[in-house]
Amino acid sequence: MQQFMLTNPAGDSLTILEHGASMQSWTVRVANSQRELLLGYANPQQYLQDTSYLGAVVGPYANRIGHGRLQLAQQRYQLQLNEGKHHLHGGANGLHRQHWQVQQQTSSSVKLRCTLADGHSGYPGPTEFSVLYQLHADSTLDVTLEATAAQLTLAGPTLHPYFNLSGKAGPINQHLLWLNAEHYTPTDSAKIPTGQLLPVEDSALDFRHCKSIGAIALDHNLVVSGTMQQTAAILTSPDQQLRLLISSDYPGLQVYSGDYLAAPFSPRQGICLEPQFYPDAPNHSQFPLRLTGPEQPFVAHIRYQVEKS
């Protein structure tokens, strides 16, 4: 399996795999040593059996679509049901399972692409996706996700890395988290949004003031600004030597505390902070959404900025 290593003058190193365009490793220099920021399998072949979307690009549409129901204009589509009665992360063979081809590469950047055929997992197409990773000298990672389609379709991919900034194998409970979110989208028992927006105030999701994650089980979509100019989340290592700032032009951010991670990892060993459209947005007209088609190419930006104390 081909690997692409990006480096910068600060001594940081990012490894991307062609399988799923996955982020396998991201190390930064802290004091006189390298610290790993991501959960990753040591052997790239292990990604072929992974069930946790570890570090991958997920989609065509990230998160859940209730009952796999999708209506575009006057046309109805049935998406693959791969999580009980619902559709999750593009189906069982979504972008995370694809062989991505390198389009361009430098010492600090790589662009990969793949094409999904018309009808793949039920989505109209064909649709070509690309992801550009750019590692900058200031330890910022910029990611650009793009899609072009031959007909009107739904695109909304994201990245699914699990972060642990401690450099150790323990749980993320002692990490500090700040979220720039006043509201969230409540869900039913199957984690499908009800269509409401509720305030985070007086709830376990209120991270407007930086605090430790603790034992709270998180798997929720938060309503964020949707502009690159405003930071959506800040994750701080337990020793407070590293801060990870995340911004995106997506209107939502899924926060998942990794409670279902399986061996060789442990539950809560990593946290996902996934910029996205709201889950099930195609079935809730009040939720923000951008469709993709021949005259409407898709583009989204995600920025991960590492600050070292």
Nearest CA to 20 out of 131, 128, 124 is that of: 131
Alpha-carbon dihedral sign for residues 73, 76, 80, 84: positive
Alpha-carbon dihedral sign for residues 167, 226, 127, 67: positive
Query: Who contacts 211 (Cβ-Cβ below 8 Å, separation ≥6)?
Result: 176, 177
Residue 37's pLDDT is 98
Q: Provide the whole-model pTM.
A: 0.97
DSSP per-residue letters across 208-241 = SS-EE-TT---EEEEE----TTS--EEEE-TTSS
Q: Which helix (H) or strand (E) holds 302?
A: strand 298-308
Tens-digit pLDDT profile for residues 234-283 = 999 999 999 999 999 999 999 999 999 999 999 999 999 999 999 999 99
Amino acid identity, position 182: E
3-state secondary structure at position 111: strand
Tens-digit pLDDT profile for residues 90-140 = 999 999 999 999 999 999 999 999 999 999 999 999 999 999 999 999 999
Domain-wise residue ranges, the chain = 3-308
Is the CB of residue 55 less than 8 Å from the CB of residue 38? yes
Tens-digit pLDDT profile for residues 191-248 = 999 999 999 999 999 999 999 999 999 999 999 999 999 999 999 999 999 999 999 9
Query: Who contacts 110 (Cβ-Cβ below 8 Å, separation ≥6)?
Result: 4, 6, 16, 102, 104, 132, 133
Is the CB of residue 35 less than 8 Å from the CB of residue 13? no
CA distance 65 to 61: 9
CA distance 45 to 20: 12
Does 309 score more than 90 pLDDT?
Answer: no
Topology adopted by domain 3-308 = Beta-galactosidase; Chain A, domain 5 (2.70.98)
Tokens of 49: 């059996």
Query: Who contacts 258 (Cβ-Cβ below 8 Å, separation ≥6)?
Result: 162, 172, 265, 267, 268, 269, 270, 271, 272
